[in-house]
Structure 1
Amino acid sequence: MPLFMDIHHVEGGVRAADVAAAHEKDLATQAPYGVNYLKYWVDEDAGKIFCLVEAPDAEAANTVHAKAHGLVADEIYPISAEG
């Protein structure tokens, strides 16, 4: 399945605990869309969130975010797991 990295930019910073709660909502929502959120990283001060996700396409990955908690990605990039 294709692999994507999405990036969220949150003005004013973000709390890791809030991102963890949003990730749990993604996990609870993802199955009907054929999506698998694998891992995420947070830069609290910069307000940046990075999500690694397997999905049929970028739209499906972003749909899960929209349905789960409304915080859709600002950028989504297809990536390769090789290396």
Structure 2
Amino acid sequence: MPLYLDIHTITDGVSADDVAKAHAADLQTEGKHEVRYLRYWVNEQHGKVFCLVEAPSAEAASTVHREAHGLLADEIFQVQEGA
């Protein structure tokens, strides 16, 4: 299954607590799209959120975000895991 990293920029600020809630919503939604959100990282100071996801396509990963909470990524990249 392809692996993707997406990047969100939240210009009006972001908290780790809010991202945890959004991630929980992703986990509730992902199954019907054959997607697995694996990890996320937050940089509150710069309003950045990064999500690592296994998905059949970038579109499927975006669909989960859209349905779960509406916070779409600004960019999404297919990546390969390294050591």
- TM-score in same-fold range (> 0.5): yes
1:65 pairs with 2:65: yes
Cα separation, 1, equivalents of 2:78 and 2:46? 23
Q: Structure 1, residues 34-83: CA drift from partner, whole Å, max 9, x if none?
A: 00000000000100000000000000000000000000100000000133
SS in 1 for 2:45: coil
What RMSD, in angstroms, separates the aligned Cα atoms of the two structures?
0.7
SS, match of residue 49 in structure 2: strand
Name the amino acid aligned to 2:63.
T
Partner Cα separation in structure 2 for residue 57 and residue 31 of structure 1? 14
Report the secondary structure of 1:64's partner residue: helix
Residue type at the aligned position of 2:13: G
After superposition, residues 3-82 of structure 1 pair within 5 angstroms as: 3-82=3-82
User: Tell me, which stretches of 5 or more residues in structure 2 are unaligned?
Assistant: none
Normalising by structure 1, report the TM-score: 0.97
State the identity %. Answer: 58
